[in-house]
Structure 1
Amino acid sequence: MTTRDRGIALTVVLLWGLNFIAIRYSLDHFPPFFLASLRFAVMAVPVLLFVKFPRVPVRWFLLYACGFGIAQFLFLFLAMHLGMPTGLASLVLQTSAPFTVVLGVLFLGERMTGRQVCGILLAVIGIAIIGFARATETDLGWGAVGPIALTVLGGLGWAFGNIGNRLTATHREPGSAQPGDALRLVLWMSVIPPLPFLAMSFVFDGPTAGFDALTTIGSHSGLLAIAGLTYTVLLGTVAGSGLWASLMSRHPASRVAPMSLLVPVVGLTAAWLFFGETPGIAELLGAAVVIAGCALGVMGTGRSPRPTADRVAVSGVSGWRRHALVSPDPS
């Protein structure tokens, strides 16, 4: 990887780490499900008008959109709304990496290495340390475990999205990939979640909660929320995902993917600077264990099943396959 590309990777890490700060500011004003609907709706309209649908199987596109777009943000936004600290959210969401490895074994016939098994166990131990520390060292008691569990479920949703992304590459006609398909997949994913999230908002947030928040958009919290939403869409998703897709198309996943493990470092540091969040010693220990486990899971590349006709890499598809393994946009 060239110095320029390493700089691009670090830029993406910074954009995605700060994205959790933007989400927090938005959640301080908007109800969680209405925010999720709004976050995707502002992207969906221009995508429908100006972006060509990628040449991918629709059923796997829907798996990607429902996992990455709906399940991830449903649980992440709800967890942060219920008190999940911003910095820890950026960390715990990285459980998507070991989840992706496990789902690859269950649904794609892949085989785990010993290093990956150790990484998954380390990640579980780290989450347990954080949960115990939050339960015993905060006023919330064991109620603090709920938001952590919801964030873990967000990581699981992200992992299902990764599997859907992978399947869009392995179940398509050889030679059918087109330049920019990976980014178009990310953009078109935003078309699916707005209506389901709006329905959830009506039921759980209340039929007028989101629109009431819009009427006070000129307030201090409203302006911060709009700034956060703008950051999430333009910098976190369009710029961040576009740059990442470009890197994944030019370099092996084993060189690019580990850079995403710096996202929670940025997230934890930014949460301390912006909100004064200071993790305890036990939480920091758990964070280090989670990052180590995720690193083993990402870098300990699993063994693929015996090649079949639909897994033969062709020009344009190999880059897709690398991109599908790790797609760490937490926007």
Structure 2
Amino acid sequence: MPLRDLLLGLSAIAIWALNIIVIKVGVVEMPPLLMTTLRFMLVAALLVPFNPVHRHQLPFLLLLSATFGTLHFALLFIGLEQAEAGTGALLVQMGTPFATVLAVIFLKERLGPKRLVGLLLSFAGVVVLAGGPTLPSALPLALLLLSALGWAVSQLLIKRGPNIPPLALAGWVALFAVPQVALGSLLFEHDHMSAMANAGWAGWGAVLYTAVMSSIVAYGLWYGLLRRHPVNRVVPMTLLVPVLAVLLGMVLLGDSLGVHKVGGGALVVTGIALIILRFRPRREPQASQRREPQG
């Protein structure tokens, strides 16, 4: 991979890692479901007018908005309100093991010993993380793992669904997710106008960053790389996202780095590496190029 493309890939990884930190900062100033709603509104406004889709693709996009928009993103924002950013970043990476298990069950994919070991290590890492002090209760653990499950289900849907350009997918999923998340915000959160009026640069900056930088700029860079290079040379870079998020959490938010986070994080990342890394060249199916990075 040329140095320019490597730097572009690392830029996308850095944007996604910082996205976890930005969400954590944003939900301090704004209720998480309200912030998610505003994020989706901005993404839809910026992408939908310029990325039309066919009418027969709308039911698929509506379904995906429930799993990827609401289940993944909404629960990610809520979970990060109650957990350290680095811990949240590690737990959300469990989407890859979940997707592997679902592919074995529903798509009859072969697991193999290497991926089985990867699964076991990943789930062992979650057990270690759950025993640490960076999760104040079982609730954020459950929310973040459900967010990861939402990502995993979405990957199977994308793999089997119609071939929709990535930015069109992001825009229309955001559009259909707006009423779902907004309804949740109306039911479970209060004083919306006051929250928006009192939010400072950090809250509104978080909405802008998560919508523009994470959903548009980073995805644009990422799918440009996937068009120019084999998937197995690009996707392994996503392993850097949780590592960098942990480091950024320490530097920017003062997060702790205890033995549970180090040990559990190492197990999770090692397990995911065994799942996604291929030691022998193998032809990738075209659909896998639409794999959505987490967060």
TM-score, normalisation: structure 1 = 0.82
- 1:8 is aligned to 8
1:297 to 271, 275, 290: 275
2:240 to 256, 262, 279: 262
- Per-residue deviation, 1:51: 2.1
- 1:173 is aligned to none
Q: 1:63 to 1:249 in 2, by over 3 A?
A: farther
2:289 to 319, 323, 327: 323
Aligned amino acid, residue 67 of structure 2: G
Tell which structure's C-alpha radius of gyration is larger: 1
Contact 2:25 2:202 in 1 (8 A): yes
- 1:287 is aligned to 265
Contact 1:29 1:213 in 2 (8 A): yes
Residues 304-331 of structure 1 show CA distances to partners (whole Å, capped at 9, x for unaligned) of 9xxxxxxxx9xxx954x1223x31141x
- 2:111 is aligned to 112
CA distance in 2, matches of 1:318, 1:57: 21
Q: How does 1:86-165 map to 2 (within 5 A)?
A: 86-134=85-133, 143-165=136-158
Q: 1:64 to 1:286 in 2, by over 3 A?
A: same
RMSD: 2.3
SS of alignment partner, residue 246 of structure 1: helix
Q: 1:34 to 1:269 in 2, by over 3 A?
A: same
CA distance in 2, matches of 1:28, 1:52: 35
1:192 aligns with 2:176: yes
CA distance in 1, matches of 2:44, 2:62: 15
Contact 1:9 1:247 in 2 (8 A): yes
CA distance in 2, matches of 1:202, 1:25: 22
CA distance in 2, matches of 1:48, 1:55: 14
CA distance in 1, matches of 2:49, 2:166: 18
- 2:194 is aligned to 212
Aligned amino acid, residue 284 of structure 1: V
Contact 1:75 1:150 in 2 (8 A): yes
CA distance in 1, matches of 2:60, 2:112: 26
Unpaired runs of 5+ in structure 2? none
Contact 1:100 1:160 in 2 (8 A): yes
Deviation beyond 4 Å, 4+ runs, structure 1: none
CA distance in 2, matches of 1:268, 1:164: 30
SS of alignment partner, residue 161 of structure 2: helix
1:276 aligns with 2:254: yes
CA distance in 1, matches of 2:3, 2:54: 31
- 2:220 is aligned to 242
Unpaired runs of 5+ in structure 1? 170-176, 305-312
Q: 1:60 to 1:251 in 2, by over 3 A?
A: farther
SS of alignment partner, residue 215 of structure 1: helix
- Per-residue deviation, 1:71: 0.4
Aligned amino acid, residue 88 of structure 2: A
Residues 23-47 of structure 1 show CA distances to partners (whole Å, capped at 9, x for unaligned) of 1121011111111111101121233
CA distance in 2, matches of 1:258, 1:204: 38
Q: 1:88 to 1:11 in 2, by over 3 A?
A: same
CA distance in 2, matches of 1:116, 1:55: 38
Q: 1:117 to 1:58 in 2, by over 3 A?
A: farther
Q: Percent identity?
A: 29
- 1:34 is aligned to 34
CA distance in 2, matches of 1:277, 1:156: 25
- Per-residue deviation, 1:122: 0.5
Q: 1:43 to 1:202 in 2, by over 3 A?
A: same
Contact 2:21 2:248 in 1 (8 A): yes
CA distance in 2, matches of 1:289, 1:55: 44
